[in-house]
């Protein structure tokens, strides 16, 4: 199993450009998450998905969009990049049987994004 | 909503010293609790987790954590650290809403 994979590893964008961060998991997990990590701030949840076709906003969704057309893939879209989106982005997945509780999350290696 | 606070931003200690990192959560109901570690340049990995049962949980690499419900705490401990324990440590908790809340993280630097 490759686990959770993310591409690209690094990217520099100019203000106003768009890009998609790719995330794929091969563990047949139902839940997938996107976080951003900023120094001293921990991880903030951007969007999450409880299954194919179902997504919901997290704590910091502004400026981002997601889709979940398959169980495996959960891409994150930045439409108009801004310097405030400079961060490290982590995708994660988990198998959660329901009832609201979160099981262990498995993280990808991250994408370091700089917006200039 | 759940919030998680970690008491120390940066801890510096020598090899063989004991480590204790504080973590408090806010949600008063049933919670699942986690400690994750992020080694330099790597992604987050699970150190240990608590769902129910024995409040003293053991994880990988000699780490353990104690859940104290009355104090809303889940502190991480290691009796004797090694240089390879240099990393950032994150406490996380859920609150029955399918999401995890993470603390701000504690950077641990172990000097050889």
3-state helix, strand, coil in chain A (%, to 5): 5, 50, 45
DSSP secondary-structure letter at A30?
S
Distance from the first to the final alpha carbon of chain B: 41
A87/B56 Cα distance (integer angstroms): 35
CA neighbor of A78 nearest in space, from A31, A116, A115: A115
- B30 contact residues in A (CB cutoff 8 A): 101
Does the beta-carbon distance from A102 to B103 stay under 8 Å? Answer: no
Neighboring chain A residues of B90 at a CB cutoff of 8 Å: 42-43
Alpha carbon distances (Å) from B27 to B3, B49, B99, B106: 7, 17, 13, 21
Q: What is the pLDDT of residue A24?
A: 98
Band the pLDDT of A99: cuts 50, 70, 90: low
Q: Could you identify the residue written with the tokens 């057309």?
A: A69
Per-residue pLDDT reduced to its tens digit, B49-92: 998 899 999 999 999 999 999 999 999 999 999 999 999 999 99
Measured CA to CA, the distance from residue A78 to residue A13 in angstroms comes to 10
Q: Could you tell me the pLDDT band of residue A98, with boundaries at 50, 70 and 90?
A: low
Cα separation of the two ends of chain A: 36
Does residue A32 have a pLDDT over 80? yes
Kindly state whether A107 is in contact with chain B, defined as any CB-CB distance less than 8 angstroms: yes
Give percent above pLDDT 70 in chain B: 99
Tell me which chain B residues have a C-beta less than 8 angstroms from the C-beta of A45.
99-100
């Amino acid at each position: 199993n490759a686990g959770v994979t993310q591409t690209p590893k690094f990217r520099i964008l100019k203000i106003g450009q768009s890009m998609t961060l790719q995330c794929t998991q091969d563990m047949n997990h139902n839940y997938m998450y996107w976080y951003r990590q900023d120094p001293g701030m921990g991880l903030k949840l951007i969007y999450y998905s409880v299954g194919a076709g179902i997504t919901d906003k997290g704590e910091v969704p502004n400026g981002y969009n997601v889709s979940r057309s398959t169980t495996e893939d959960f891409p994150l879209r930045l439409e108009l990049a801004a310097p405030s989106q400079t961060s490290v982005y982590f995708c994660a997945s988990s198998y959660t049987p329901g009832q609201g509780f979160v099981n262990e999350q498995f993280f990808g290696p991250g994408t370091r994004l700089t917006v200039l | 909503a759940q919030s998680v606070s970690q008491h120390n931003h940066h801890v510096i200690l020598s090899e063989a010293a004991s480590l204790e990192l504080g973590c408090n959560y806010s949600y008063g109901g049933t919670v699942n609790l986690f400690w994750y570690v992020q080694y330099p340049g790597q992604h987050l990995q699970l150190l240990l987790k608590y769902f129910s049962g024995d409040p003293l949980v053991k994880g990988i690499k000699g780490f353990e954590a104690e859940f104290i419900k009355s104090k809303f705490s889940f502190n991480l401990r290691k009796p004797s650290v090694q240089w390879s324990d240099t990393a950032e440590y994150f406490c996380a908790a859920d609150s029955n809403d399918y999401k995890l809340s993470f603390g701000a993280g504690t950077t641990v630097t172990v000097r050889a």
